[in-house]
C-alpha cells in the first residue's frame, strides 16, 4: 500500500492506495460527482483507495480535482515500482447506456495524455466537466504512464464521463497485470 500526502495553500489530501486490491473505497473530496467517478475508477480498476481531500471548492473544483490526480498518479507510480513483470499495454471500450468511451494505456515511464471528448453542459452536479481532462493529465503525468482516452459518442455528459473513468480503470488494471514469465516488456530491457 502506498500512502501519499499533499498539502498546499489550496488543498490538503491524503491517499492510501493499493494497486492490487479488491475495489474497497472510502472517498471524500467535497465534490459528490467526483467522488462517484473516483469510486468507479477504484471499483472497476480493482484498486483499494482511502482518500480524503479538503480543497478550496469555494473558489471552484479545479485545485481539488487536479491535485487529486497528482496524488493518485504518484501513488500508482509508487505501487508500480520498477514496472518489471507487467503486461504494460492494454485497452478497454466501455459503454454506459448511450455513451461509449475508449482508453488505451501504456505503463512505460513516459507520461502522455491524449484526451478527446466534447461535453454538452458545463457541469454535472457541482463538478465542472472540463476538469475531467485536468484530472487525467495530472494522473498520467505523475504516474509516468501514457493514456489515450476518447469518448466516441453519447448524449448524457454523466454517462460520457463515467464511461471514460471506467475505461481508464479497466485499461490500467489490465496493463498492470503480471505477465506470465515476469519479463520486462521492452526491447530496451527496462521501463
- Residue range 2-175, CATH number: 3.30.230.40
Query: pLDDT for 99-138, tens place per residue?
Result: 999 999 999 989 999 999 999 999 999 999 999 999 999 9
Domain ranges of the chain: 2-175
Residue 50 has pLDDT above 70, yes or no: yes
More confident residue, 181 or 64: 64
Secondary structure of residue 78 in the 3-state scheme: helix
Locate 174 and state its grid cell.
489490465
Residue written as grid cell 467535497:
30
pLDDT, residue 180, reads: 74
Going 66 to 73 to 15 to 17, the CA torsion angle's sign is: positive
Cα separations in angstroms, 42 against 47, 149, 185: 5, 17, 25
The pLDDT of residue 82 is 76
Per-residue pLDDT at 189 exceeds 70: no
> Residue written as cell 472510502?
26
Closest CA to 57 of 49, 68, 42, 47: 68
Q: What pLDDT does 191 receive?
A: 57
Query: Residue 75: what pLDDT?
Result: 98
Span 27-46, average pLDDT: 98
Stated pTM of the model: 0.94
Q: Once rounded to an integer, what is the mean pLDDT over residues 43-56?
A: 97
Average pLDDT, the chain: 94
* pLDDT confidence tier of residue 94, bands split at 50, 70 and 90: very high
Distance CA(53)–CA(64), nearest Å, equals 7
Amino acid at each position: 500500500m502506498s500512502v501519499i500526502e499533499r498539502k498546499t495553500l489550496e488543498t490538503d489530501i491524503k491517499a492510501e492506495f493499493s494497486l492490487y486490491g479488491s475495489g474497497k473505497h472510502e472517498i471524500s473530496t467535497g465534490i459528490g460527482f467526483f467522488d462517484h467517478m473516483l469510486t468507479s475508477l477504484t471499483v472497476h480498476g480493482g484498486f483499494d483507495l482511502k482518500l480524503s481531500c479538503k480543497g478550496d471548492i469555494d473558489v471552484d473544483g479545479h485545485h481539488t480535482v487536479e491535485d487529486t490526480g497528482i496524488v493518485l498518479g504518484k501513488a500508482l507510480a509508487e505501487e508500480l515500482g520498477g514496472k518489471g513483470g507487467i503486461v504494460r499495454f492494454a485497452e478497454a471500450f466501455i459503454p454506459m447506456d448511450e455513451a461509449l468511451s475508449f482508453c488505451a494505456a501504456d505503463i512505460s515511464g513516459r507520461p502522455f495524455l491524449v484526451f478527446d471528448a466534447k461535453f454538452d453542459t458545463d457541469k454535472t452536479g457541482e463538478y465542472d466537466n472540463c476538469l475531467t481532462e485536468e484530472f487525467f493529465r495530472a494522473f498520467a503525468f505523475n504516474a509516468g504512464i501514457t493514456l489515450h482516452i476518447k469518448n466516441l459518442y453519447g448524449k448524457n455528459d454523466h454517462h460520457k464521463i463515467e464511461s471514460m473513468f471506467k475505461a481508464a480503470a479497466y485499461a490500467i488494471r489490465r496493463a498492470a497485470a503480471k505477465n506470465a514469465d515476469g519479463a520486462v516488456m521492452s526491447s530496451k530491457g527496462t521501463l
